[in-house]
């Protein structure tokens, strides 16, 4: 058992959270291997709109952490940072077509004000939306300071860091922690590492069966290219702000997000379905998304649907991600359950997870919010390495 470690850290999962953790660990001089069952950005990170959004986060812990991560991500995108050219600044718009949605926008304005930046309201009113917004929109809140970062592009940028080895497609069969390190059992061999970061998303329960992580699928539509810049930033239904904390289902007017990609294409998302079958798509669901999207942005009717697909998010029973060392096996640090918020939170979470692995304190001022994500909150059914 006491063989010298092959790596300082094994990061399980090459999604955006794992990739960020690997980058932060390697920057600390650690030797890191990233292991994935299929490859980089193979699950939620590669199937997301890429919105780095604070507005969409639940007030409280999530909004505060997202805000902190937004500010940090903007730093990572500065000269010399890994996300330079990957993260981009852009305006974002939140739209209401009913009194209830207008009320949700009022709450949004208050939330943004309380956070104190970098996101800020630049316009608010019936005419605050970009040109071309549909006539049924009664109120729009425009924000500056949020941004865009494609998950797969961020993963590629993080993993390009020197000192990060890659291992895929390889399945981790089991983890066994002891006083000196962790043995990572792969199909054909074992790896010996000092510590493990498990950023496994919906696959988390295969290794940690006690974790209350379930898959939540969302269907999305990708269109062909419009003239670039025809929509300067994403349009988000105000009902989305409410729905993210409500129970899933397929309401008549689904909470829709229209995200303009750098290619000129639009990504229209997304449904929330309680299963993990990302091969399953259906016309009825995407038609409702498309109809609602075209209500917000009528020019979409002329666009072509190029692709319909589904992505799977990792949802946690209490709606908060799970980040922190396992109580029973502190050499194993979890970072999972972001349910679509991983794009925004990945910057900060990578940094904090690296601090935890190094045995250092997390960022000053964020201690309580990060403690709220600890797996210890599920202590009665404490997830234990199999």
Partner 1 sequence: MSGAILWNGAPVAFRAGESVASALARAGIRALGDLPTGQEAAVFCGIGQCQGCLVSLDGRLVEACLTPCRDGLRVASAGAGNG
Partner 2 sequence: MAEPRVLIVGAGLAGLAAAVGLARAGFASLVVDQARAPGGAIHRQPLPGVAAHGLPAQRRRWQNLRAEVTAEGDRIEILCNHRFAGIDADGVALLTGERSRFIRPAAVILATGATERVVPVPGWTLPGVTTVGAIQTQLKTTGEPPAGRVLLAGSGPLLCAAAAELAAAGNPPVAIVEAGRPFRHAADALALPAGYLAEASAHLARLLLARVPIRCGMHLSRIDRHGDTLVARAEGGGRHLDFAVDRIGLHDGIRPNGYGAAGTTVPVALAGDAREALGARAALEDGRRAGAALAARLAGRPVPPDMSPALERERAAQQRLRRIHAHDLGARLVAIGDDTVLCRCENRTAGDLRALGGDPTDRELRLRGRFAMGRCQGRFCGEWVRRLQGDDPADAPLGAVRLPVRPLPLADLIDAGEPDEEN
Which CB sits closer to partner 1, 26 or 293?
293
Query: Cβ neighbours of residue 194 under 8 Å, at least 6 residues apart?
Result: 5, 7, 8, 9, 181, 182, 331
Residue of the chain from 88, 106, 264, 298 that contacts partner 1 (CB under 8 A): 264
Q: How far is the CB of 265 from partner 2 (least distance, A)?
A: 9
Applying the rule CB under 8 A, the residues between 194 and 253 that interact with partner 1 are 224-228
Q: Is residue 131 a contact point for partner 1 (CB under 8 A)?
A: no
Which CB sits closer to partner 1, 102 or 224?
224
DSSP label at residue 118: S
Q: Which partner in partner 1, partner 2, none is near 264 (CB below 5 to 8 A by kind)?
A: partner 1
Which CB sits closer to partner 1, 3 or 301?
301
Q: Which partner in partner 1, partner 2, none is near 227 (CB below 5 to 8 A by kind)?
A: partner 1
Query: Cβ neighbours of residue 140 under 8 Å, at least 6 residues apart?
Result: 93, 94, 95, 96, 105, 123, 124, 125, 126, 127, 128, 129, 133
Which CB sits closer to partner 1, 250 or 305?
305
Three-class secondary structure of residue 197 per DSSP? strand
CA distances from 354 to 195, 253, 332 (A): 11, 41, 12
Cβ distance 54 to 66 under 8 Å?
yes
Q: Is residue 294 a contact point for partner 2 (CB under 8 A)?
A: yes
- Taking the C-alpha atoms of residue 293 and residue 288, their distance in angstroms, rounded to an integer, is 8
Residue of the chain from 13, 15, 18, 46 that contacts partner 2 (CB under 8 A): 46
Of the candidate spans 234-242, 273-281, 341-349, 355-363, the one that interacts with partner 2 by CB under 8 A turns out to be 273-281
What does the DSSP assignment read for 191-220? EEEEEEEE--GGGHHHH-TTS-EEEEEEEE
Query: In the numeric block, which tokens belong to residue 377?
Result: 């909150």
Which CB sits closer to partner 2, 114 or 306?
306
Q: How far is the CB of 265 from partner 1 (least distance, A)?
A: 9
Query: In the numeric block, which tokens belong to residue 148?
Result: 């865009």
Q: Is residue 307 a contact point for partner 2 (CB under 8 A)?
A: yes
Q: Which partner in partner 2, partner 1, none is near 171 (CB below 5 to 8 A by kind)?
A: none
Q: How far is the CB of 232 from partner 2 (least distance, A)?
A: 20
Helical axes 151-159 vs 342-358, angle rounded to 10°: 30
Q: How far is the CB of 316 from partner 2 (least distance, A)?
A: 25
| Peptide bond preceding 296 in cis form (omega within 30 of 0) | no
Q: Which residue has the tokens 């949020």?
A: 146
Handedness of CA 231, 237, 241, 244 (dihedral sign): negative
Q: Is residue 304 a contact point for partner 1 (CB under 8 A)?
A: yes
Residues interacting with partner 2, by CB under 8 A? 38-42, 46, 150, 152-153, 156, 168-169, 221, 223-224, 279-284, 286-287, 290-291, 293-294, 300-309
Residues interacting with partner 1, by CB under 8 A? 224-228, 263-264, 302, 304
């Amino acid at each position: 058992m006491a063989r010298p470690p092959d790596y300082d850290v094994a990061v399980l999962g090459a999604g955006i959270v794992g990739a960020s953790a690997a980058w932060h660990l390697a920057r600390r001089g650690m030797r890191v291997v990233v292991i994935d069952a299929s490859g980089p950005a193979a699950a939620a990170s590669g199937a997301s709109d890429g919105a780095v959004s604070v507005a969409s986060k639940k007030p409280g812990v999530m909004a505060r952490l997202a805000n902190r991560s937004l500010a940090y991500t903007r730093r990572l995108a500065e000269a010399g940072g890994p996300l330079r050219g990957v993260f981009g600044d852009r305006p974002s718009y939140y739209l209401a077509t009913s009194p209830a949605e207008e009320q949700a926008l009022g709450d949004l304005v208050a939330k943004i004000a309380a956070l104190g930046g970098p996101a800020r309201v630049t316009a608010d009113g019936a005419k605050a939306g970009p040109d071309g917004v549909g006539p049924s929109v009664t109120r729009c809140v425009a924000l500056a300071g949020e941004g865009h970062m494609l998950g797969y592009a961020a993963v590629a940028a993080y993993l390009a860091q020197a000192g990060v080895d890659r291992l895929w497609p390889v399945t981790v069969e089991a983890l066994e922690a002891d006083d000196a390190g962790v043995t990572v059992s792969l199909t054909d061999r074992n790896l010996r590492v000092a510590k493990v970061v498990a950023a496994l998303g919906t696959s988390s329960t295969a290794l940690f069966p006690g974790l209350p992580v379930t898959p939540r699928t969302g269907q999305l539509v990708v269109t062909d290219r419009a003239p670039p810049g025809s929509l300067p930033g994403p349009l988000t239904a105000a009902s989305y702000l409410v729905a993210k904390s409500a129970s899933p289902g397929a309401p008549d007017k689904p909470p829709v997000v229209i995200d303009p990609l750098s290619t000129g294409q639009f990504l229209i998302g997304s449904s929330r379905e309680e299963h993990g079958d990302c091969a399953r798509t259906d016309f009825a669901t995407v038609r409702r998304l498309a109809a609602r999207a075209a209500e917000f942005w009528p020019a979409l009717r002329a666009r072509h649907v190029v692709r319909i697909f589904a992505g799977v998010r990792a949802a946690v029973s209490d709606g908060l991600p799970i980040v922190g060392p396992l109580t029973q096996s502190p050499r194993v640090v979890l970072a999972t359950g972001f349910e679509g918020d991983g794009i925004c939170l990945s910057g900060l979470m990578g940094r904090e997870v690296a601090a935890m692995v190094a045995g250092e304190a997390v960022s000053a001022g964020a201690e309580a919010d990060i403690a709220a994500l600890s797996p210890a909150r599920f202590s009665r059914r404490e997830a234990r390495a199999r």
